[in-house]
Amino acid sequence: MYKLSLFILISGVFFMTFSQNSNPFFQQWDTPFGTPPFDKIEQAHYLPAFKAGIEEQNKEIEAIVNNTEEPTFENTIVALEYSDGLLTKVSNVFFAMLSSMTNDEMQAISKEVSPMLSKHNDDIKLNPELFARIKTVYENQDEFDLNTEQKRLLDEYYKSFVRGGANLSDEAKEKFRKINEELSLLSLEFGENVLKETNKFELVLEENDLDGLPESVKAIGADEAKDKGYEGKYVYTIQRTSLYPFLTYSTRRDLREKLYKGYILKGDNNDEFDNKKKLSRMAALRVERANLLGYNTHADFVLEERMAKTSEAVYELLNKLWEPALKVAKKERDDMQQMIFDDGHDFELESWDWWYYSEKVKKAKYDLDEEELRPYFEVTNVIKGVFDLSTRLWGITFEERDDITKYHPEVKTFEVKDRDGSHIGILYTDYFPRASKRGGAWMSSFRKQHVDKDGVYQTPIIYNVGNFSKPTADKPALLSIDNVNTLFHEFGHALHGLLSNTVYPTLSGTSTPRDFVEFPSQVMENWCMHPDVLKNYAFHYETGEPIPGELIQKIENSGKFNQGFATVEYLAASFLDMDWHTLTEAVEHDAIEFENTSMNKIGLIKQIVPRYRSTYFNHIFAGGYSAGYYSYIWSEVLDADAFAAFEETGDVYNQELANKYREFILSKGGTDDAMELYKKFRGQEPAIEPLLERRGLN
């Protein structure tokens, strides 16, 4: 019996060691620049790595708590900062793949891991001995001679523990844990439902259903049909790269309605993917959690850590923009309604008509056709354009690398170097839609820039993901103006991660207040359609000819076109977000009734649907933007004012300003107060007038 037990024990140890040796997450990555070895990572590796990462961090925290020395910044805050090495390593890869390479197995793992991580986070934040040490350091910080970044890190940890329930009673802590666990699962399920709804819907058409569609849009449908096995047919989906071109050009009003309703009814079809009860439950749980922590609303809890500070300040900004935007949107609606009458029709404009008739109005007013522009925005040229802009502004260069393993064949990898040739970091780009990828566009990191616990500088590994139109059988990927703006936007986030120069990972790159983090991304959009920049990257994909001056002039002339619609649909979603999160009672509301009341309150016209309806509002119910979707317009006040600074010099490549922007914005991460950083760059607080001027709302 003893020999058998010994054999089992030895076998178990051997198996565990063998498993760890074969699991890439338990090894140092001997790859170029420490990039993830995607050719070796298997789905079976994630769960063991998560469990080991949690165990490893628990041991690190136990050592901090049991340290007999008096709490100091180094033995408590710094030790805690570097306690999650393995857990961060696996999390960064897993959640990136969950968003862009998901499948049933990945989603099953996420449902097992999510409550595990929620519990682990609560175990840390609700650890009384650990919080006691943090509190001691916080209350005696003057004794430690801390610099600005260290003070910021200490402040972040102290507040995160207080906001994480550290001061709650034991009974309240247990309730807090259960709320967090339920919210984490609901959030996952909400996002999964949106993805499944998106992949499920398809509009299958015949050749005679394609009236009005340009050849490029027909090609989108033909390629989609081929991928889905519909030989000789055309398929359009509610992915935006398929949806918007169809809505813009199809003369078939019935089909536009069918496709558009497929989009706006995601999560609202009373089937297995319905999100109404999930989101209502989440909103109620957030109120309950906020109340436990002593806040009146979830928004009060969230905004305390934002530049806006209060829901009153957010509503004030939204209302300030709403009235002029709605006025412009109504004028745009009336122009389109008149065109409908002029065409001999008597129907009333509806939401699914907006893209079609706004394109006709734009053609009539500005002689500008989106299809006329696409040939000049071939995706590789646009990428080269944003690279060249970065070289011109900051001296950084991008070299494609073929020796870095990728998680999908369409992904490209680039080494980023500084003006002196030194290595800055690695950038992955992943720009085309697929069934395994959620919709939208985003940036994140496989590794944040930081200095590790051994004092070694760790360079960033950043990725940009999008869902732009794919190449077709006879054409490369040609982008719309909106796609180009999105690519520049996400690249702005990438720069924020790449050019970060901080010590601690918690404060690195995009780790800033939510209503500041969109500033570096949105400011990049100002350059992409500027005439001086367009000339350097907008070349016809067939002839190589630069975009003609008259087309650039048309783009400039139409710059404020449809801005009433764009502003109103965005603001409507922002109001909806704030209304969900300024609830004061933990009551589960009827989601559709609540949404309708919210939109009626602001007087939203029926021809415009909020950019995101509640049932597919991933930003706030499956992402980190709850009570924060307003951030884009808050940041736009900053970005419009910042770019005005460049324009005031007469040189959009002004080196002095570019260097200040890199020094005080891109490199600083969250190491100082966001408004203080902005004022160091600009010399003053931002004015709202440049934004109003740019959107034609003044």
Q: Is 408 helix (H, G, I), strand (E, B) or coil?
A: coil
Q: Which residue has the tokens 């992949």?
A: 199
What does pLDDT average to in each consecutive run of 10 residues of the chain (698 residues)? 46 49 94 98 98 98 98 98 98 98 97 96 97 98 96 98 97 97 97 96 98 95 94 96 96 98 98 98 98 98 96 97 97 97 96 97 92 95 98 98 98 98 98 94 98 97 95 90 97 98 98 96 97 96 96 94 97 98 98 98 98 98 96 96 96 97 98 96 95 91
Dihedral angle, C-alpha 482, 488, 492, 495, nearest 10 °: 160
Alpha carbon distance 562, 560 (integer Å): 6
Q: Which residue has the tokens 């003609």?
A: 548
Residue ranges of domains in the chain: 2-167, 201-264, 276-368+564-629, 375-557+632-694
Question: Would you say 243 and 250 are in contact if contact means Cβ atoms under 8 Å apart?
Answer: no
Alpha carbon distance 493, 347 (integer Å): 44
pLDDT given for residue 698 in this prediction: 84
* Token duo for residue 308: 């806006």
Amino acid sitting at position 74: E
Q: Is 635 helix (H, G, I), strand (E, B) or coil?
A: helix
Long-range contacts of 293-299 (CB under 8 A, 24+ apart): 293/163, 293/165, 293/168, 293/176, 296/584, 297/581, 297/582, 297/583, 297/584, 298/581, 298/582, 298/583, 298/626, 298/627, 299/578, 299/581, 299/582, 299/627
Provide the greatest CA pair distance for the chain.
94
Complete DSSP assignment for 304-365 = TTSSS-SHHHHHHHHHHHHHHHHHHHHHHHHHHHHHHHHTT--PPP-GGGHHHHHHHHHHHH
Q: Is 446 helix (H, G, I), strand (E, B) or coil?
A: strand
Alpha carbon distance 74, 401 (integer Å): 39
* Token duo for residue 377: 């925005």
Alpha carbon distance 591, 280 (integer Å): 6
Amino acid sitting at position 187: S
Instruction: Identify the helix (H) or strand (E) that includes residue 427.
Output: strand 423-430
Alpha carbon distance 30, 569 (integer Å): 48
Question: Catalytic residue numbers?
Answer: 490
pTM across the whole model: 0.92
Closest CA to 631 of 286, 314, 324, 305: 314
Please indicate whether the domains covering 276-368+564-629 and 375-557+632-694 agree at the CATH topology level.
yes
Amino acid sitting at position 593: E
Is the CATH number 1.10.540.10 carried by domain 276-368+564-629? no
- CA 211 from centroid of its chain's CA atoms: 36
Alpha carbon distance 515, 625 (integer Å): 10
Q: Which residues contact 154 (CB under 8 A, 6 or more apart)?
A: 73, 77, 137, 138, 141, 146
pLDDT given for residue 134 in this prediction: 98
Beta strands in 196-236 (DSSP E): 203-205, 234-236
| DSSP label at residue 142 | G
Q: Which residues contact 341 (CB under 8 A, 6 or more apart)?
A: none
pLDDT given for residue 46 in this prediction: 98
Alpha carbon distance 217, 356 (integer Å): 14
- CA 480 from centroid of its chain's CA atoms: 20
pLDDT given for residue 13 in this prediction: 47
CATH of domain 375-557+632-694: 1.10.1370.40
Question: Would you say 398 and 415 are in contact if contact means Cβ atoms under 8 Å apart?
Answer: yes
Q: Strands 423-430, 461-465: parallel, antiparallel or unpaired by DSSP?
A: parallel
Residues facing residue 398 across a β-bridge: 416
Q: Per residue, what are the HEC states of 95-133?
A: HHHHHHCCCHHHHHHHHHHHHHHHHHHHHHHCCHHHHHH
Question: Torsion-angle region of residue 374: left (phi > 0), alpha (psi -120 to 50) or beta?
Answer: alpha
Separate counts of helices (H) and strands (E) for the chain: 29, 9
Q: Which fold has domain 2-167?
A: Neurolysin; domain 3 (1.10.1370)
Number of other CB atoms surrounding residue 587 within 10 Å: 11
| DSSP label at residue 445 | E
- CA 69 from centroid of its chain's CA atoms: 42
Alpha carbon distance 161, 166 (integer Å): 5
- In degrees, rounded to 5, the angle at the alpha carbon of residue 661 between the alpha carbons of residues 657 and 662 is 120
Closest CA to 388 of 552, 535, 189: 535
CA distances from 362 to 145, 331, 366 (A): 61, 14, 6
Say how many residues make up the chain. Answer: 698
